A and B are shown apart, each in its own frame.
Chain A
Amino acid sequence: MYHMKPVMSATVEQLPTCMYKMKNIYSEWSDSAPATKDDLLISAESLLQRQNAVISKLEALQIKINSALEGHQSSGNSALNLSTTKEIVLPKEIVITCNPTVPARALLQMITNIKSEKKVLCVFYTHNSAKHTPCLDLSKYGFQTDIQAVTRCDKDMVVTWIWKECDECEMMISPIQQIKIVNEANICRYLLRVLGSYPNDAAAASIMDQWLDTATDLVKARNSEKTSTVEKISNYLSKSSFISGNNVGVEDLVLHSAFMRTVSAEQSIKDKVLRQWCSAVSSHLIL
């Protein structure tokens, strides 16, 4: 019925004598201790070949980098373009929540600036958690209560401003993943990038970053740290009328907003330079 094959082979299996077989590392020295001249030549040649391969690879990489840089320069941007890392597009709608007692004035000013360039619908609401009445009248910033707005869909962007009991100004980026941008300075930075008005020059961008971070620091810092930061701003302002140069820039707006929030009025009065700067920036704001 069945034709069977023998299970055991006739030949005797070679059984291992140890678990792992390894090369004897001493044998090279002990057995063939005096290496011949040919051997040495061969090893030196192979080393040379490997080194040459590495050098050629590095050269190829260099060419690639150069071509990439040239490509950017030819497209009209000088030096490193910051926005190339990932294309950020202007969102259809941004939702900003803000505490009514600490209004983000710089952000409001920025939105007003955007309004002059694009078709933007600004609406504002009050969340049921807000305990205080907002100290700013948003209709002065061109905001509407939703009811006055007739259509929403034909606008470039809708800005939804919600007065709500929260610590920091927040902007919702992804409602599904609950990703937010927290803090006024960071939201301003994001908006600048999205609008393409962030400095393209890496050096200028890092200076801008530095001032925006200073504003964040000012809000979060303890009293002892605050004085040093204020001194830093004051020192800079003694050389230049505004932080961004001769005109009021975003840095001035953001710093001013952080200033109004944290540093008490007396302290700003003490310093003449700061006082002048404050009033100069204030005159640019819609109040």
Chain B
Amino acid sequence: MEDKENSKSENQPSKNALKKAQKEAEKAAKKAQRKLEQQAGDAAVAEAEQPDVSAGCYGSYGLMRSAEKVDRVLHEVEKLDSTCADTELWLRGRLHTSRAKGKQCFFVLRQQQFSVQAVLAVSETTSRQMVKFVAAITKESIIDVCAVVKTTPNKIESCSQQDVELHVKQVWVASASEARLPLQIEDAARPDTDDGLATVGADVKLDNRILDLRTSTNQAIYRVEAGIMRLFREHLTKEGFVEINTPKIISAASEGGANVFTVSYFKTNAYLAQSPQLYKQMAIAADFGKVFTVGGVFRAEDSNTHRHLTEFVGLDMEMAFNYHYHEVVDTIGRMFVNMFKGLRDNFQTEIATINKQYPAEPFKFLEPALRLEFPEAVSMLREAGVEIGDEDDLSTPNEKFLGRLVKAKYDTDFYILDKYPLAVRPFYTMPDPNNPKQSNSYDMFMRGEEILSGAQRIHDPNYLTERATHHGIDIQTIKAYIDSFRYGCPPHAGGGIGLERVVMLYLGLDNIRKTSMFPRDPKRVTP
């Protein structure tokens, strides 16, 4: 036909003839295509009729009801690297993403903070049906994969295990996810700075916390949080502290009186503890020497800020000292430095993972902890042009500014500010014997935000009564507190920190809701 056409055009290329030839050619092409398609369809049908070579290599376990014990070692994604190249192993993880393209299917297997790429391609041992099955598994389903580890020439940027990929042999679904997800894990894990790409709003994240917590960032944050708790316990136990538990349902407000949640208690009302302070001090009066407690603390403050929660975990400590309350300041300072060192040395991977989504400058600190005195802070602020009185408390912006000044001068994100003015401290704070305007109290700061407030407490009932009267407090309401010092009490000091706030500031995050697994604030009590 081609020859015919050629000869025609060579002889006399009239317009009509040309058109005709073109039409004919088109027709022929269409016919050929149709034929090809039909052939392909035939082949597919033929294949479907063929026995599935991968039968028994994929499928669903169904509902696992512990019917049998399987003797199989499941490997961790975290430990996959080039050393395990060419070995066949089993892994369990979530199907993070999958992309099927013709005879191939790429998917990412995610296990907590770690992920690895897997490849499945139609071959002699892998059937088309299997690839189709894997491509249809819904995202976030939990799957078992048997695969051979292979090193890759190019680094896989999107996964945590960048040097290896899995060549899949078997895929089994252990627990399927629903197809529609309220949020995409990838979007939730995206830094806010990535322009143009979808991110998930803070409220959507909190409403679907279970999915949100699956992001590698959140996996890392709560591991760091657990680490801080562990380091706190370990260090204080090593220093001879005793862990105690204090009641959370109390009869009267422990601090001040306002900001407590009222709960009905049989025929009367009770309150939720807003600080374990009274009980810590009672433990000291009961000769426990050094005590600490980890537990929930409740504050009925209607403040919707980035650093307030209505329920948080308090790490509180109280310690009897021998002669000077700096013994306690020193102990707390050592505890923090030890905590920072522990985090720096043992949580590098987690911190790096978190920094990918929320970049922050690494936390800097001095050993021993830097201790400044309040008048020094005031003069530093004045030098920088801030108007502040000698006995004024630091406002939040001034605190932040002071934090920046201290960082610029000493290059540290953590410092202790000692000798606060007596006027801005609670009635039970011990006044400074050398300066009537100062007190034996201290605050500690991380990245310019207060994390601990503490003081030497008055341990003499008469002096305590005097100070309370001076503050205009009705003695009857705090009688129990004063009475606990009547039978002799060692001089003591202490303080408490909010776990969520420490984690937030250590990691340089901007919101405390990012470090509370199920945050409670004035507007949220679910999930």
Contacts and interface: CB of A to CB of B under 8 A. Distances in A.
Interface of A: 92-93, 95, 97, 125-129, 145-147, 149-153, 160, 162, 164, 172, 175-176, 178
Contacts of A175: 380, 405, 408-409
Interface stretch (B85-93, B189-197, B302-310, B368-376): B368-376
A129 B364 contact: yes
Given A97-B411, A175-B409, A128 B324 contact: no
Contacts of A164: 411
Nearest to A158: B376
A147 B368 contact: yes
Contacts of A162: 366, 410-411
Top 5 A-B pairs ranked by shortest CB distance?
A175-B409, A175-B408, A125-B366, A147-B330, A126-B367
A127 B434 CA distance: 32
B387 to A, nearest CB: 16
Most buried by B among A97, A146, A152: A146
Given A128-B341, A128-B366, A147-B333, 16 more contacts: A93-B376, A95-B409, A95-B410, A127-B364, A127-B365, A127-B367, A128-B340, A128-B365, A146-B370, A150-B326, A151-B373, A151-B434, A152-B371, A160-B410, A162-B411, A175-B409
Contacts of A160: 410
A171 to B, nearest CB: 11
B171 to A, nearest CB: 46
B364 A128 contact: yes
Contact of A152 (B344, B372, B383): B372
Nearest to B375: A153
Nearest to A128: B365
Nearest to B369: A146
A153 B408 CA distance: 21
B115 interface: no
Interface in B347-390: 363-373, 375-376, 379-380, 383-384
A172 B366 CA distance: 16
Residue from B368, B375, B405 having most chain A Cβ neighbours under 10 A: B368
A145 B368 contact: yes
B398 to A, nearest CB: 15
Contacts of B340: 128
Nearest to B370: A125
Contacts of B344: 128
Contacts of A150: 324, 326
A160 B373 CA distance: 14
A147 B370 CA distance: 9
15 contacts: A93-B376, A125-B367, A127-B366, A128-B340, A147-B326, A147-B330, A151-B373, A152-B372, A152-B373, A153-B376, A175-B408, A175-B409, A176-B383, A176-B405, A176-B408
Nearest to A146: B371
A128 B338 CA distance: 11
Nearest to B340: A128
A92 B411 CA distance: 18
Contacts of B370: 125, 146
B164 to A, nearest CB: 32
B465 interface: no
A152 B376 contact: yes
B126 interface: no
Interface in B418-462: 419, 434
Contact of A127 (B379, B383, B405, B412): B412
Interface residues of B, number: 33
Given A95-B410, A152-B372, A162-B411, A128 B367 contact: yes
Contacts of B380: 175
Contacts of B326: 147, 150
Contacts of A147: 326, 329-330, 333, 368, 371
Nearest to A164: B411
A169 to B, nearest CB: 14
B368 A125 contact: yes
A153 B373 contact: yes
A92 B340 CA distance: 30
Contacts of A146: 368-371
A240 to B, nearest CB: 41
A192 to B, nearest CB: 23
Contacts of B329: 147
A153 B370 CA distance: 15
A232 to B, nearest CB: 37
B147 to A, nearest CB: 41
A162 B412 CA distance: 11
B241 to A, nearest CB: 18
A149 B324 CA distance: 11
B283 to A, nearest CB: 25
B231 to A, nearest CB: 15
Nearest to B344: A128
Interface in B466-496: none
Contacts of A129: 364
Given A128-B344, A176-B408, A92 B379 contact: yes
Interface in B320-347: 324, 326, 329-330, 333, 340-341, 344
Contacts of B371: 146-147, 149, 152
Nearest to A178: B408
Contacts of A176: 383-384, 405, 408
A241 to B, nearest CB: 41
Given A152-B376, A162-B410, A164-B411, A126 B405 contact: no
Contacts of B364: 127-129
Contacts of B369: 146
A128 B412 CA distance: 9
A153 B379 CA distance: 11
Interface in B396-423: 405, 408-412, 419
Contacts of A149: 371
B373 A172 contact: no
Contacts of B405: 175-176
Contacts of A95: 409-410
B421 to A, nearest CB: 13
A150 B373 CA distance: 11
A255 to B, nearest CB: 29
A172 to B, nearest CB: 6
B420 to A, nearest CB: 13
Contacts of B419: 153
Contacts of A151: 373, 434
A151 B340 CA distance: 26
B54 to A, nearest CB: 54
A107 B376 CA distance: 25
A149 B416 CA distance: 14
Residue among A95, A147, A178 with the highest chain B CB neighbour number at 10 A: A147
Contacts of A92: 379
B380 to A, nearest CB: 8
Contacts of B333: 147
A31 to B, nearest CB: 68
A147 B419 CA distance: 14
A90 to B, nearest CB: 15
Most buried by A among B341, B369, B371: B371
A93 B409 CA distance: 11
A150 B371 CA distance: 11
Contacts of A152: 371-373, 376
